[in-house]
């Protein structure tokens, strides 16, 4: 029986019709093993209904394992994936957002994820060698063919979002964001004004709650929370369009993360966290 633990922080509607709970699951470390499959199943049981992946995560294994473990998908589960980053045989990362590459990538993702249509598809990186118009026109055409439902952008600036919206409706943006990494505050503010979902990847990276444990001890006691839970609670408090997508390979950590949705962080305590853990 599915729990609504992840729903405690409320929901967000992406693209006008995708209703998801405001904590997703990042899957950049998913492997083809029972541990990873158990985390995926438990996430859905806890009410996590936004699963974020990409065609290059663990060399396509992330998409493959998600498809094999969760398909046919429970009602309401949204799979978000991406393309545009390449990895050479030697392990070097590159960028390819040419129309031809994106078309091939979409077909591969559909097959691995066992989907007829991908609910949310991100351009993983803007390609400096390919005009943004060409990349997004290709994705819009795939949308019109019924292979993609909504299009998003990953690791982008405000100027890139504004340019992209000339060619496609942008349903979501996915940028790095955490309590201690807030370089995309301007992008988040824009998304909030425009009603665009903001998925925060690496939401627990470099958070400095542990470094200031003594100063923050009253908050940790007040909420009976771990430092990671306070960091996630702060993100959920930060903006109604912000959706953290922490990744984990541990059911215990998954349950800890999801439980952060139940922390009723006050405005004063949120300001304290923002000041201390910057």
Q: Select which of 57, 73, 167, 202 is catalytic.
A: 57
Instruction: Indicate the helix (H) or strand (E) that contains 118.
Output: strand 118-123
Question: Is 57 an active-site residue?
Answer: yes
Check whether the bond before 72 is cis (ω within 30° of 0).
Answer: yes
d(CA 137, CA 147): 14
Tokens representing residue 138 in the block: 């290709």
Neighbours of 185 (CB within 10 A): 11
Q: Is residue 259 within 8 Å of 224, Cβ to Cβ?
A: no
**CA angle, 76 as apex, 110 and 115 as ends, to 5°?**
10
Cα-based distances in Å from 76 to 10, 19, 51, 199, 207: 15, 8, 11, 18, 31
d(CA 133, CA 24): 29
Neighbours of 125 (CB within 10 A): 21
**CA angle, 131 as apex, 129 and 137 as ends, to 5°?**
130
- Residues involved in catalysis: 57
């Amino acid at each position: 029986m599915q729990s609504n633990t992840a729903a405690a922080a409320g929901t967000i509607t992406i693209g006008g019709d995708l209703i998801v709970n405001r904590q997703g699951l990042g899957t950049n470390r998913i492997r083809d093993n029972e541990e990873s499959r158990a985390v995926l199943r438990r996430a859905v049981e806890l009410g996590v209904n936004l699963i974020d992946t990409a065609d290059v995560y663990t060399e396509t294994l992330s998409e493959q394992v998600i498809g094999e473990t969760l398909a046919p998908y429970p009602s309401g589960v949204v799979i978000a994936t991406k393309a545009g980053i390449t990895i050479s045989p030697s392990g070097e990362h590159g960028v390819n957002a040419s129309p031809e590459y994106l078309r091939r990538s979409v077909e591969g993702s559909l097959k691995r994820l066992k989907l007829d249509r991908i609910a949310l598809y991100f351009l993983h990186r803007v390609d400096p060698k390919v005009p943004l118009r060409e990349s997004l026109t290709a994705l819009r055409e795939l949308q019109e063919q019924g292979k993609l439902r909504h299009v998003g952008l990953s690791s982008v600036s405000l100027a890139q979002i504004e340019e992209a919206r000339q060619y496609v409706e942008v349903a979501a943006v996915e940028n790095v964001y955490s309590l201690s990494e807030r370089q995309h505050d301007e992008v988040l503010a824009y998304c909030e004004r425009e009603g665009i979902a903001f998925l925060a990847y690496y939401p627990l990276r470099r958070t400095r709650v542990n470094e200031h444990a003594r100063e923050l001890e009253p908050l940790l006691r007040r909420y009976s929370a771990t430092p990671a839970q306070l960091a996630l609670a702060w993100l959920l408090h930060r903006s109604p369009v912000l959706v953290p997508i922490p990744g984990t390979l541990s059911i215990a950590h998954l349950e800890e993360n999801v439980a952060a949705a139940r922390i009723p962080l006050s405005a004063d305590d949120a300001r304290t966290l923002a000041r201390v853990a910057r």
